[in-house]
């Protein structure tokens, strides 16, 4: 049985080239620094996306995607650099381990340089192959980060200085009192355009309010308004065609009524709103009755100014009960022949909304339904009526109270604006500006995906550095360093533990070439198959002799001194 091959001669390790492993002595600073840089680039990407979220596009000279491109390019490049160093460390750590084969060294190198080879490694799949595949797919963080930021329209809020004139108390006349009944039959010339604009639902101009043209501004403005209080009750009714005693019921039932009322001689600062309506289908039951008192007051209105159209309006999401009442206003009793501050206002409401709807059984023709005014038909609900004779008894009505109170509120607001002038100019404070602008929007799920991929890649590569402390010098995959490790004759005169830069310095001038070299056939003292286990030969099988006999000339391919190399055909 033949013995295992013995080690050949080698250059002794001197003090300057001793094998010096150690945790602190062999820290792979370049790889760790690259991973730290990749981590910082990852944090920078997060900071860019968080900082840009909701920012106006005009606030950034370059879009966040430009900075993100720089960030993930740096990160991926640094991860790749760290992985390359980690592969080198793993190759050398594998080389110094017991039981390593030449195939193992080839595969470690191959997996570290060819991700496809790592993916197809099959039963040889190892952590280096896994890391190679993962690092290869890490650049998908680029598209994810690009998708993490987009441009969208958003409402931006900021403080703004607004001012607008509005009367805090209605002092000028809105109508004329006529006759002993103290009726108001006409509007004043000044107030009539206000009422007609209200009837037409014209927009209220706000040209000099100070709201920017591309914005919508909001705030609270003090002006003449209303303090509203309402009470509810019920009243029984019977609109059935026959009474309980069997007689025909020809009585008239007011199934709907809305009435604005004002008195010049009794509380002339108040307007009453009386409402009555049938809210269920049965022909008998209870009518809903509501009595509201609208007292003249000074209030703080929630208002909206549209800078694009230069118009002002009440905030549509609010109602009369959202107006902050500052104080109420009392008016003295007024007589016929004079102008009235509140009477014309009340007349505009009563002329528009006072309505009474009657229901009466008419015998063979069924029920007669009649209405005087527009509000009854506006709020009528016919869903339970199957015919328009006897079926009219099932008519019901929706509650008109919120609508009528809102109309009273809007007309008073218009009246306050109409009586405003330079002496009633007021600052609207606080006031805010809302404008629709293009902003950067961050999509955090995409950002999270990219960050997770980056962090996993960093941790996987970092794990590859485990065991670096077993190495005794700074190593590389330099062909000179690998050749010296295999004891190549060209480098036999170099120190066996020299680093790559020392090998380059010592052998830099040697002329070499790859080609055919002629020389005597080497003796083959180990012509056998050897099975190794645990560093010992456990079985040897003799093989038949192959090749020329020792001493015969033969040609082989080799990187050798260029003076003895025969060029290859090209």
Domain ranges of the chain: 20-148+443-472, 159-438, 511-570
Residue (of 128, 119, 33, 23) closest to 86 by Cα position: 128
pLDDT in tens, 94-104: 998 998 899 98
d(CA 94, CA 109): 11
Give the full edge-to-edge strand order of the sheet including 183-187: 183-187, 175-178, 339-340
**pLDDT for residue 566:** 86
**pLDDT for residue 372:** 94
To the nearest 10 degrees (0 to 180), the angle between helices 444-463 and 127-137 is 150
**pLDDT for residue 552:** 60
d(CA 65, CA 68): 5
Q: What is the DSSP letter of 32?
A: H
pLDDT in tens, 463-492: 999 999 999 888 888 888 888 889 888 888
**pLDDT for residue 491:** 87
- Determine the 3-state secondary structure of 478 from DSSP: coil
Global pTM value: 0.65
**pLDDT for residue 503:** 87
Residue (of 81, 172, 154, 46) closest to 446 by Cα position: 46
Residue (of 119, 202, 236) closest to 417 by Cα position: 202
d(CA 379, CA 401): 11
51-55, 426-430, 541-545: least confident range: 541-545
**pLDDT for residue 529:** 43
User: Which run of H or of E encompasses 227?
Assistant: strand 215-238
- In Å, how far from its chain's centre is CA 510? 64
430 upstream amide cis, omega within 30 of 0: yes
User: Both tokens of residue 401?
Assistant: 């109270």
Specify whether the CB–CB gap between 64 and 149 falls below 8 A.
Answer: yes
d(CA 535, CA 569): 42
pLDDT in tens, 242-277: 888 889 999 999 999 999 999 998 899 999 999 999
- Answer whether residue 524 shows pLDDT above 70: no
The stretch 517-540 carries a mean pLDDT of 50
Query: How far is the CA of 67 from the CAs of 58, 71, 195, in angstroms?
Result: 16, 6, 59
- Answer whether residue 320 shows pLDDT above 80: yes
- Answer whether residue 227 shows pLDDT above 80: yes
- Answer whether residue 536 shows pLDDT above 70: no
Q: How many CA atoms lie within 13 A of 85 on its CB side?
A: 22
**pLDDT for residue 532:** 43
- Answer whether residue 212 shows pLDDT above 60: yes
The stretch 399-409 carries a mean pLDDT of 98
User: Both tokens of residue 468?
Assistant: 């670096």
- In Å, how far from its chain's centre is CA 321? 35
- Determine the 3-state secondary structure of 71 from DSSP: helix
pLDDT in tens, 111-168: 988 889 989 989 999 999 999 999 999 999 999 999 999 999 888 888 899 999 999 9
pLDDT in tens, 443-466: 999 999 999 999 999 999 999 999
Specify whether the CB–CB gap between 356 and 371 falls below 8 A.
Answer: yes
Highest mean pLDDT range out of 21-25, 206-210, 552-556? 21-25
d(CA 504, CA 109): 22
* Average per-residue pLDDT for the chain: 89
**pLDDT for residue 525:** 44
| Torsions phi, psi for 352 (to 5 deg) | -90, -35
- In Å, how far from its chain's centre is CA 515? 64
- Answer whether residue 543 shows pLDDT above 70: no
Specify whether the CB–CB gap between 468 and 174 falls below 8 A.
Answer: no
């Amino acid at each position: 049985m033949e013995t295992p091959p013995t080690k050949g001669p080698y250059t002794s390790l001197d003090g300057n080239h001793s094998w010096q492993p150690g945790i602190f002595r062999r820290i792979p600073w370049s790889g760790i620094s690259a991973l730290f840089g990749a981590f910082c680039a990852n944090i920078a990407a997060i900071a860019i996306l968080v900082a840009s979220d909701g920012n106006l596009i005009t606030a950034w000279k370059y879009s966040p995607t430009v900075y993100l491109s720089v960030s993930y390019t740096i990160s991926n490049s640094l991860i790749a650099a760290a992985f390359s160093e980690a592969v080198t460390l793993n190759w050398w750590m594998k080389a110094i381990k017991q039981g390593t084969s030449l195939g193992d060294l080839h595969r470690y190198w191959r997996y570290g340089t060819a991700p496809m080879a790592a993916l197809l490694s099959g039963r040889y799949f190892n952590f280096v192959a896994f890391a190679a595949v993962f690092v290869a797919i890490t650049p998908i963080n680029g598209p994810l980060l690009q998708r993490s930021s987009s441009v969208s329209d958003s409402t931006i809020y900021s403080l703004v200085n607004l001012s607008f004139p509005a009367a805090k108390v209605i002092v000028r006349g809105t109508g004329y009192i006529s006759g002993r009944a103290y009726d108001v039959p006409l509007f004043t010339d000044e107030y009539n355009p206000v009422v007609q604009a209200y009837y037409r639902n014209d927009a209220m101009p706000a040209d000099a309010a100070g709201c920017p043209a591309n914005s919508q501004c909001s705030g609270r403005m003090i002006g003449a308004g209303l303090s509203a209080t309402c009470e509810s009750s019920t009243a029984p009714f019977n609109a059935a065609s026959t009474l309980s005693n069997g007689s025909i019921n020809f009585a008239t039932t007011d199934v709907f009524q809305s009435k604005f009322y004002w008195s010049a001689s009794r509380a002339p600062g108040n307007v009453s709103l009386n409402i009555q309506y049938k809210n269920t289908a049965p022909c008998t039951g209870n009518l809903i009755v509501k009595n509201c008192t609208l007292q003249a007051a000074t209030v703080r209105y929630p208002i909206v100014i549209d800078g694009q159209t230069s118009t002002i309006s009440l905030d549509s999401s609010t109602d009369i009960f959202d107006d902050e009442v500052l104080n109420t206003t009392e008016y003295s009793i007024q007589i016929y022949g004079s102008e009235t501050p509140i009477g014309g206002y009340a007349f505009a409401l009563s002329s528009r909304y006072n309505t009474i709807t009657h229901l009466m059984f008419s015998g063979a023709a069924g029920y007669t339904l009649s209405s005087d005014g527009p509000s009854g038909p506006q709020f009528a609900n016919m869903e339970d009526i199957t015919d328009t004779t006897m079926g009219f008894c099932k008519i019901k009505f929706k509650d008109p109270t919120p609508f009528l109170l809102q109309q009273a509120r809007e007309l008073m607001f218009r009246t306050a604006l109409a009586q405003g002038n330079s002496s009633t100019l007021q600052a609207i404070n606080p006031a805010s500006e809302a404008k629709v602008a293009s902003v950067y929007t961050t999509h955090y799920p995409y950002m999270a995906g990219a960050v997770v991929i980056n962090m996993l890649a960093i941790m996987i590569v970092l794990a590859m550095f485990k065991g670096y402390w077993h190495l005794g010098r700074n190593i590389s995959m330099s062909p000179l360093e690998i050749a010296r490790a295999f004891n190549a004759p060209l480098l036999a005169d170099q120190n066996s533990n020299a680093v790559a830069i020392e090998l380059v310095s010592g052998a830099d001038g040697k002329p070499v070439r790859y080609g055919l070299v002629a020389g005597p056939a080497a003796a083959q003292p180990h012509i056998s198959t050897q099975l190794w286990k645990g560093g010992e030969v456990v079985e040897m099988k003799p093989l038949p002799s192959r090749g020329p006999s020792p001493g015969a000339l033969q040609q082989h391919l080799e990187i050798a001194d260029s003076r003895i190399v025969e060029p290859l055909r090209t």
